Amino acid sequence: MAVDENPGSPPDTTQQRDAERPEHAGHPKNTRHSRPLGRPAKKKRRLLGWIFSLASIILLTWITITLISGRGSGFSDLAGLFNLGGSSEPASEYHFTVGSNRVFANLEGSIASAGTLGVQVLSANGTETLRDVFHMSSPAIETTEGRAIAFDIGGSAVRTFSKTQVSATIETGGAIISASINKNNWFVVCTQESEAFRSVVTAYDNRGRDVYRISLATGYALSAMLTPDNKKLAVLDLTNNGSRITIYDLSREEPDGVFEYPDGLILDMQYTTGGKILAVAADSLIIVDAGGAGTELFGFDGRRLGGYVFGDNFTALHLFDYSVGYSGRLITLDDTGRLLGGVVTDKELLSMSASRGYLTILKNEGPVFFDSELNEYLTVGELAVAAGATRVLSLSDDAALVASDHFAVVLKIGRAQSSDDSRN
């Protein structure tokens, strides 16, 4: 099913729609349901219009690459964390032969990697279970449960695969912006294919067949995702007025709902187990229902967002207190916005990753392991191996991959004995 959103095309109510206008076809405009933030709307709209008219493509590219390549209170201090007790096994170096610009993803305990020479999957013990050789200039990879999708940002190559076999190979008609995959191996790709449309969003079934298509004339698609049941599609795009999430049912053309975030920047989104959309903006965490109504779950209150990651049952946010320096807090929240835990930070966090309800962060000193409430885990005697690492990938509650452009090492750890006093 194709949907063109070109205002200059001849009217055809059965084949075309203006998805860029939330009020179109009787769909009321949904705005965020949150407290006023006290922002001068008119002045910011003029500024945003100028920014988007001159630098939208640059901003979109920067955000996409940044997101894909990595992303009660009473806060305990991270200082001295590495002095806690714990146990570990010897680190295992994994050998990936996918070229340069390597990126990694957790594929149900195995490690999927993409690089300039294609994709590769290594099992938990380092055994290669899949390799597919093809060229990518700016490789990216996403996984959902046992399914993976690798794609070339700015290029045209897309591969979907499991631990042992490639399931779909496609070449897009335009430059790839982003892609995602669901647990049923259905996937969606955002591209820039012609001058007539700013972005095109195409959904594919598990065999790589085009099943739904949306062409955006007035917004730049940042990302898109399919529900686990293959029935609905959510598209995040940037417009002259801010950010917008549009929800489609794959059985019809008109959108089910539109959530607009005026003057704001939504960075990423994820479906919750209840079918709602959890969205991270530059200034808040938002929940959007299937009809497009949005609610602010947690406002950042002027703090600068330093990083974030979606976990299975939580969202981790790294918030800086000031515009410069590393003073801030690392917090976790559930899908209702309830604070699960937090720690004070005063050093740079190089990378964050989550898996199976656990969070791993990478500092210059090495990785730190937490559960969803930010109770600490620990590696012992392996910190020197992590020197120079720039990325961390959480594999489970007791293992993580730390990597740089030149090495990739799996660390296995034992749970550290946490102190109740450290959390008061």
Whether residues 169 and 24 share a domain: the answer is: yes
Domain span at residue 197 reads: 1-69+111-299
Q: What is the Rg, in whole angstroms, of the alpha carbon atoms belonging to the chain? A: 22
Q: Is residue 83 part of a domain?
A: yes
Q: Is residue 106 part of a domain?
A: no
CA distance 295 to 278: 10
Q: How many structural domains compose the chain?
A: 2
Whether residues 42 and 116 share a domain: the answer is: yes
Q: Is residue 241 part of a domain?
A: yes
Whether residues 332 and 235 share a domain: the answer is: no
pTM for the model = 0.78
- CA nearest to 197, candidates 183, 216, 175: 216
Show which of 299, 324, 350 is a domain's final residue: 299
Whether residues 256 and 197 share a domain: the answer is: yes
Whether residues 117 and 132 share a domain: the answer is: yes
* CATH number for the domain that contains residue 204: 2.130.10
Q: Which SS3 state, helix, strand or coil, does residue 185 take?
A: coil
Q: Which SS3 state, helix, strand or coil, does residue 98 take?
A: coil
Q: Is residue 235 part of a domain?
A: yes
Whether residues 28 and 81 share a domain: the answer is: no
CA distance 381 to 349: 20
Whether residues 261 and 363 share a domain: the answer is: no
Whether residues 293 and 307 share a domain: the answer is: no
Whether residues 356 and 405 share a domain: the answer is: yes
- CA nearest to 80, candidates 290, 398, 368, 326: 368
Walk along the chain (424 residues) and give the pLDDT tens digit of each residue.
Answer: 555 444 343 334 333 333 333 333 333 333 333 333 333 344 444 444 544 444 455 555 555 554 444 443 333 333 233 333 344 455 678 889 999 999 999 999 899 999 999 999 999 889 999 999 999 999 999 999 999 999 999 999 999 999 999 999 999 999 999 999 999 999 999 999 777 678 999 999 999 999 999 999 888 999 999 999 999 999 999 999 999 999 999 999 999 999 999 999 999 999 998 899 999 999 999 999 999 999 999 999 999 999 999 998 999 999 999 888 899 999 999 999 999 999 999 988 999 999 888 999 988 877 888 999 999 866 444 454 556 788 999 987 778 898 988 888 888 765 544 444 344 3
Q: Is residue 387 part of a domain?
A: yes
Tell me whether strands 30-33 and 255-262 are parallel, antiparallel or unpaired. parallel
Whether residues 370 and 356 share a domain: the answer is: yes
